[in-house]
Amino acid sequence: MKNKIFCIKMVVYLLSSLLFIACGNEAEKKDSTKSEDTSHISGELIIFHAGSLSVPFKEISSAFNQEYPDLKISMEAAGSVACARKITDLKRKCDVFGSADYNVIDKMLIPEYASWNIKFVSNEMAIVYTEKSKYHDIINIDSWTDILLKEDVYYGRSDPNSDPCGYRSVLTMKLAEKFYEKPDLAKAFLNKDMNFIRPKEVDLIALLETNSLDYIFLYRSVAEQHGLEYLLLPDHVNLKNPEFANYYSTVSVDINGKKPGETITQTGEPMVYGITIPKNAPNPKAAKAFVNFVLSKEKGMAILEKNGQPSLVPAKTNTYKNILDNLKKFAIE
């Protein structure tokens, strides 16, 4: 009898052990699957981005790398138009493209080089200076146009054909001409200090900080990120306020197009940044994870807003149907 009871207990014990091992293996398998889905992203991630995204994208990529330590992230900053031409003209491989103007993606990449575009942050134009800038103690929203046009004052701007900040600077000048009712104001600006035009807006900061320039047209976010003084412009002029969209659209500027001799007309509108994954992305899995990280409220968007670039997520897009499924939540049809 005792032997029988002992045998029964052994059978129960063995069955329990086998069940425990089986459950453990299943849990391990699930953990392994989860690990494959989230952490097994490696190789190189190539990011082209606007100069005005340099500071936040550096922070974002660092935080992203903590989640995916096996990934090597390569970032290239340039004017957004120049970034797009690396893809269209030079056929450079790119996993993620963050543009300071969503129109660059719409007009230069879609549909041949990209399928979709998500609008994600905004900005505004400002007049940036230092404590060494001439007349910095008297500049204000009424006097800035006169001060920048003084013969002993030098100002800089970025190249409209390379950088959205460049053509937005021109649009700002034209809006200022309308708002302040000063005929030929934009022409006077455009004909002055042409030696201080640079490929992208952040190239101007060194010239400002070394006192080679007194003022520069620059995004407010970049000024804040670099601890620079700046003058906020009226909403009629700064390309910030969606309520003035119709007013902004009354001015425009032509820039170089996709092909030699071709031009693209950039019409004034509120500043909206765009992000996409080009069709030639060599590491699409990592690209999708990065864009998801950038657009997530508690992750990338928190970093962008901390750096002076307010979130627009989710925003309407004409390319909603083409957006990758797990990224659709960041846009509106």
Map out the domains of the chain as residue ranges: 43-122+272-332, 125-255
Distance CA 216, CA 293 (A): 32
Cis peptide before 183 (omega within 30 of 0): no
Distance CA 53, CA 216 (A): 18
Mean pLDDT, range 26-30, rounded to an integer:
41
Report phi then psi at 246, rounded to 5: -65, -40
- What pLDDT score was predicted for residue 258? 74
Same fold across 43-122+272-332 and 125-255: yes
pLDDT at 15 over 80: no
**Cβ-based neighbour number of residue 30 at 10 Å:** 10
pLDDT at 22 over 80: no
- What pLDDT score was predicted for residue 39? 54
Tokens of residue 66, six digits: 């903590």
**Cβ-based neighbour number of residue 243 at 10 Å:** 9
Distance CA 122, CA 136 (A): 27
Of 179, 49, 193, the C-alpha closest to 125 is 179
Of 116, 161, 28, the C-alpha closest to 317 is 116
pLDDT at 328 over 60: yes
Whole-prediction pTM value? 0.83
Give the domain 43-122+272-332 fold: D-Maltodextrin-Binding Protein; domain 2 (3.40.190)
pLDDT at 89 over 60: yes
CATH class (in words) of the domain with range 125-255: alpha beta
**If you average pLDDT over every residue of the chain, what do you get?**
90
Tokens 């993620």, residue located: 96
Question: Helices (H) and strands (E) in the chain — how many of each?
Answer: 12, 14
Q: What digits encode the pLDDT tens for the residues 279-324?
A: 999 999 999 999 999 999 999 999 999 999 999 999 999 999 999 9
pLDDT-derived band at 150, boundaries 50, 70, 90 = very high
- Secondary structure of residue 260 in the 3-state scheme: coil
- What pLDDT score was predicted for residue 261? 82
Mean pLDDT, range 150-174, rounded to an integer:
97
